[in-house]
Structure 1
């Protein structure tokens, strides 16, 4: 699994990771923190192209111990020639710390 986007704010970090599975791509939103934090995440995917269009929006809670990471969102999509995908992963802690990772890729 490779990291295609990363962001951080204070102790909070978020990443979008990608793994190829045959003709599909698995995208995972990962949140981590150097201190104990809890909050909410939002993972948004918009895909368009000759193979079809997809819009996915996921929300989830996280509760992290210091130094921990959590895989909080997962999406698997099929990608064909000339398809384009745009992703946004936002994590916001209960005390208002926010990180936002974005990625765009084409095939």
Structure 2
């Protein structure tokens, strides 16, 4: 192999590694993304007559990007439709909170969707939460 062939092979291997790493973090489970360099999570806690929601990002390296979160659903007292988004920064070992929301819990059910994009990778989390009846 010539020096040029070795460089081309090394570049191709590096590109494949980046593509594989991006594919690993591209899908998500019901409440968190699969393992990968960028992961998401939707935390929910019932406190009295409210459900507290906190979308989170976990990263294997310092990274910045954008996110969108939506909450839809409701119960006997009405419906909820929340959409918000913006920029974020995350560091390894320190989950980044994307804010907190409070929705009614009594007999209510909500679909929470979080989409995160950073470093050419997108991950999504979907979680259904419900309060006491």
Tell me the TM-score range normalised by the shorter chain: 0.7 to 0.9
Matched, 1:16 2:42: yes
Q: Which runs of 5+ in 2 are unaligned?
A: 1-29
RMSD: 1.7
Matches within 5 A, 1:4-83: 5-8=31-34, 10-81=36-107, 83=108
In terms of fraction of residues, the more helix-rich structure is 2
| Alpha-carbon offset, residue 9 of structure 1 | 6.1
Equivalent pair of 2:53/2:102 in contact (CA under 8 Å): yes
Q: Which runs of 5+ in 1 are unaligned?
A: none
Greater radius of gyration (CA): 2
2:125 equivalent in structure 1: 101
1:60 aligned counterpart, secondary structure: strand
In terms of fraction of residues, the more strand-rich structure is 1
* Structure 1 length-normalised TM: 0.85
- Closer/same/farther in 2, CA of residues 106 and 69 from structure 1, 3 Å limit: closer
- Closer/same/farther in 2, CA of residues 74 and 68 from structure 1, 3 Å limit: same
Larger relative contact order, structure 1 or 2 (CA cutoff 8 Å, min sep 6): 1
* Aligned residues between the structures: 102
Is 46-55 or 36-45 further displaced after alignment? 46-55
Per-residue deviation, residues 38-68 of structure 1 (Å, max 9, x unmatched): 0011110002321100100110211122332
